[in-house]
């Protein structure tokens, strides 16, 4: 292992990470709407899930599914709902909840991660080009929903948010990229507050691809959901809204899986070490670990091995099994892992009062790796 590690890279020394605060959260998952249902489900180790979006004439494959349990009409109103894709609905609902929890909407933008956008919306729209009498006889009002930036753009319209509006993609790292992009934009004055997170929808089209690829670990459900956080630069003592948590570091890297899974695992381990070093957190202070690849055949073990080298199992270090509750949520994964940490920390029924720091990791079969370090607000001050 050391030969691979030492033979590879000698990058420059990283500066300390600049933290940002999470002042509000909007969560839509199989556990329900908000953090408390997620905390309840995490304690129980399972969620019932909602009803998967029905698709005319298209059945889901025979695999476990965990749909988000939410009412789009209650959260977004009925007007114009029919035009929205499932991704639009999930993303807009989570953004609306996060914005409602923030004390000041001025100077706000939106930064969302998603793997391809609406898999169902893209598939249905493209299908029309094959089956209509003329290939261009598509429904024009469905066109914007086929773009990855639809949910972010529609959220901006709904709430009049004219600041930085971006959409990022990178498989299960999508939400982490959104957080990194948002942090950068905040620190360089492109926005005062950003609603940042990720969204992923369940559709029969996507589900069949997952089913046929057989990449999920036995017993892992395919899930969906969205988690969005209102992010701000840390305020001075006693000013501004009290944060839910501080994002102390947020690292990302890549290793080509063609070089073997070991290279990807080593790159993740270095990512975790960098994230801890840059946030000034000792491994011993990490009380919660939420891995992202836990539901993926083969890759779960690669992630575990990487975590063991930096954060070996220790008394008092809790492993948060997010996928058991949300299912595999791909582009929304990191955001829902962070939401799960927040849910645990605010849950009156969980004895987590002494937990200071949490590490969220993710790794994709395409070679992208990432790690976020979350600090409890009292520990962050």
Among residue numbers 243 through 272, which ones bind other proteins (CB under 8 A)? 252-256, 258, 267
**If binding is defined by CB under 8 A, does position 204 make contact with other proteins?**
yes
**If binding is defined by CB under 8 A, does position 367 make contact with other proteins?**
yes
Pick the closer one to other proteins by CB: 33 or 85: 85
Pick the closer one to other proteins by CB: 6 or 239: 6
Q: Out of 33, 87, 167, 220, point to the residue binding other proteins (CB under 8 A).
A: 167
Residues 134 to 153 in contact with other proteins, rule: CB under 8 A = 134-140, 143-144, 146-150, 152-153
Residue 163 C-beta: closest distance to other proteins, Å: 7
**If binding is defined by CB under 8 A, does position 164 make contact with other proteins?**
yes
Residues 98 to 137 in contact with other proteins, rule: CB under 8 A = 109-110, 114-117, 122-123, 125-131, 134-137
Rounded to whole angstroms, how far apart are CA atoms 253 and 368? 6
Pick the closer one to other proteins by CB: 3 or 239: 3
Residue 89 C-beta: closest distance to other proteins, Å: 15
User: DSSP label at 365?
Assistant: T
Pick the closer one to other proteins by CB: 205 or 376: 205
Residue 44 C-beta: closest distance to other proteins, Å: 32
Pick the closer one to other proteins by CB: 77 or 135: 135
Query: Residue 28: CB partners within 8 Å, gap ≥ 6?
Result: 68, 70, 75, 90, 93, 94, 97, 225, 226, 227
- The SS3 of residue 369 is strand
Q: Out of 40, 43, 107, 184, point to the residue binding other proteins (CB under 8 A).
A: 184
**If binding is defined by CB under 8 A, does position 11 make contact with other proteins?**
yes
**If binding is defined by CB under 8 A, does position 185 make contact with other proteins?**
yes
**Type and span of the H or E element at 236:** none
Pick the closer one to other proteins by CB: 159 or 356: 159
**If binding is defined by CB under 8 A, does position 56 make contact with other proteins?**
no
Q: 123 near 157, Cβ under 8 Å? A: no
**If binding is defined by CB under 8 A, does position 205 make contact with other proteins?**
yes
> In residues, how long is the chain?
381
| DSSP for 176-207, written as a single string | HHHHHHHHHHHHTTS-SEEEEEEEE---HHHH
Q: Out of 4, 8, 46, 262, point to the residue binding other proteins (CB under 8 A).
A: 8
- The piece of 24-32, 64-72, 186-194, 306-314 that touches other proteins (CB under 8 A) is 186-194
**Type and span of the H or E element at 141:** none
**If binding is defined by CB under 8 A, does position 293 make contact with other proteins?**
no
Sign of CA dihedral 47, 48, 54, 59: positive
Rounded to whole angstroms, how far apart are CA atoms 163 and 196? 13
Q: Give the 3-state secondary structure of 71-120.
A: CHHHHHCCCCHHHCCHHHHHHHHHHHHHHHHCCCCCCEEEEEECCCCCHH
Rounded to whole angstroms, how far apart are CA atoms 24 and 26? 7
Q: Out of 42, 94, 166, 359, point to the residue binding other proteins (CB under 8 A).
A: 166
């Amino acid at each position: 292992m050391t030969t691979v590690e030492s033979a590879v890279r000698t990058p420059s020394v990283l500066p300390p990470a600049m933290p940002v605060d999470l002042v509000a959260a909007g969560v839509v998952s199989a556990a329900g709407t908000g953090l408390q249902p997620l905390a309840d489900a995490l304690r129980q180790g399972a969620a019932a899930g909602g009803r998967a979006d029905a698709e005319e004439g298209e059945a889901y494959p025979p695999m476990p599914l965990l749909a988000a349990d939410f009412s789009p009409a209650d959260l977004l109103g009925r007007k114009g709902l029919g035009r929205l894709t499932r991704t639009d609905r999930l993303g807009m609902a989570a953004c609306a909840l996060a914005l409602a929890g923030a004390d000041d909407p001025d100077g706000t933008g939106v930064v969302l991660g998603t793997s391809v956008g609406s898999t169902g919306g893209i598939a249905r729209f493209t299908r029309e080009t094959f089956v209509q009498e003329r290939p261009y006889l598509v429904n024009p009002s469905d066109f914007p929903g086929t773009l990855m930036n639809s949910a972010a753009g529609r959220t901006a319209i709904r709430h009049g948010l004219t600041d930085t509006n971006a959409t990022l993609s990178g498989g299960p790292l999508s939400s982490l990229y959104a957080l990194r992009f948002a942090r950068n934009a905040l620190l360089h004055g492109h926005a005062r507050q950003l609603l940042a997170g990720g969204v992923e929808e369940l559709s029969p089209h996507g589900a069949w691809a997952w089913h046929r690829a057989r990449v999920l670990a036995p017993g892992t459900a395919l899930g969906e959901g969205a988690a969005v956080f209102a992010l701000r630069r840390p305020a001075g003592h006693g000013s501004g809204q009290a944060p839910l948590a501080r994002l102390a570091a947020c690292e990302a890297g890549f290793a080509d899986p063609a070089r073997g899974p070991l290279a990807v695992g080593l790159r993740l381990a270095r990512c975790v070490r960098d994230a801890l070093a840059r946030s000034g957190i000792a491994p011993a202070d990490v009380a919660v670990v939420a891995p992202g690849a836990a539901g993926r055949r083969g890759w779960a073990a690669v992630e575990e091995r990487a975590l063991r080298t930096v954060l070996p199992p220790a008394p008092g270090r809790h492993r948060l099994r997010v996928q058991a509750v949300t299912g595999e949520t791909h582009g929304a994964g990191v955001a829902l892992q962070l939401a799960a940490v927040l849910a645990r920390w605010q849950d009156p029924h969980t004895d987590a009062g002494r937990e200071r720091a949490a590490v969220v990791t993710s790794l994709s079969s395409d070679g992208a790796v990432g790690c976020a370090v979350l600090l409890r607000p009292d520990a962050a001050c």
